[in-house]
Amino acid sequence: MGPLPFIIVAIDGGAASGKSSSSRILAEQFNLLHVDTGSFYRHLTADLVRRGVSHQDLPALIATLGRVKLSTQLNGRSAQMLIDGQPAGDGIRSQDVNSAVSHYAAIPEVRGALLDYQRGQVGVAQQHGFRGLVMEGRDIGSVIFPAATLRFFLHAEPAERAKRRAAEGQQDSIVERDRLDSSRKASPLTCPTGAIDIDSTFLTLDEVVAKMSALIAVSLA
């Protein structure tokens, strides 16, 4: 028997739709590298804000993006993005980043700066002996890996999502981020044709994961 095929699982969805929790469990179950691309956008946003580069100053943004060096460090099964060798701090989940990130993420040059880096996570996963990767975000099934083994799209009612975020002790503008993420021109948040749509409003995390892992198991058989 040859080596097992490398699998790519894409999970997209709106703010607090359950992407991170389900991705982490699937990574554990199937020996996949977990890649949270939202954390990349958050880290880059926090870094640009710290450097005083406004999302409205395109020349400064382009110059800064051209200089930053992105690399990867593993944290358990998760890929952590380093900017100039520095990992993200807890600040990436702060209210400031919550309200700034979608403005930066709407800029094509910002998305372009992360494109190859995100695709390059396949090499990271292979190098560390993972069976594949599970990548979560907004445009994974539509732009980053349209030919992924499986593409999921998670939905949940905004009130339920706000409840989940509050239970995590976070203040978040879920509806506003979804509005900005869905209406931008560059890689908007959308359920791509052919993706498997899961409404998690009335499902527990275990039920969502069970649906996904049953489908992954079939595709591996």
- The residue ranges that bind ligand CDP (CB under 6 A) are 15-16, 19-20, 37-38, 41-42, 101-102, 105, 137-139, 177, 181
- Minimum separation from the CB atom of position 203 to ligand CDP (A): 17
Q: Which is nearer to ligand CDP, 22 or 102 (CB)?
A: 102
Q: Which helix (H) or strand (E) holds 207?
A: helix 205-220
Q: Which is nearer to ligand CDP, 9 or 16 (CB)?
A: 16
- Position closest to ligand CDP via CB: 38
- Minimum separation from the CB atom of position 42 to ligand CDP (A): 6
Q: Which is nearer to ligand CDP, 22 or 64 (CB)?
A: 22
- Minimum separation from the CB atom of position 138 to ligand CDP (A): 4
Work out the number of other CB atoms within 10 angstroms of the CB of residue 170: 14
- Minimum separation from the CB atom of position 94 to ligand CDP (A): 12
DSSP-assigned letters across all residues of 144-171? I-TT-SEEEEEE--HHHHHHHHHHTT--
- Minimum separation from the CB atom of position 30 to ligand CDP (A): 21
Sheet bearing 7-13, strands edge to edge? 70-75, 78-83, 32-36, 132-137, 7-13, 150-155, 196-199
Q: Which is nearer to ligand CDP, 14 or 132 (CB)?
A: 14
DSSP-assigned letters across all residues of 10-71? EEEESTTSSHHHHHHHHHHHHTEEEEEHHHHHHHHHHHHHHTT--TT-HHHHHHHHHH--EE
Q: Alpha carbon of 102 to those of 15, 45, 138, 162, 182: distances in Å?
A: 11, 9, 11, 17, 10
- Minimum separation from the CB atom of position 3 to ligand CDP (A): 29
Q: Which is nearer to ligand CDP, 40 or 130 (CB)?
A: 40
CA distance 221 to 216: 9
Q: Which is nearer to ligand CDP, 35 or 125 (CB)?
A: 35
Q: Could you tell me if 135 and 20 are in contact, meaning their C-beta atoms sit under 8 angstroms apart?
A: no
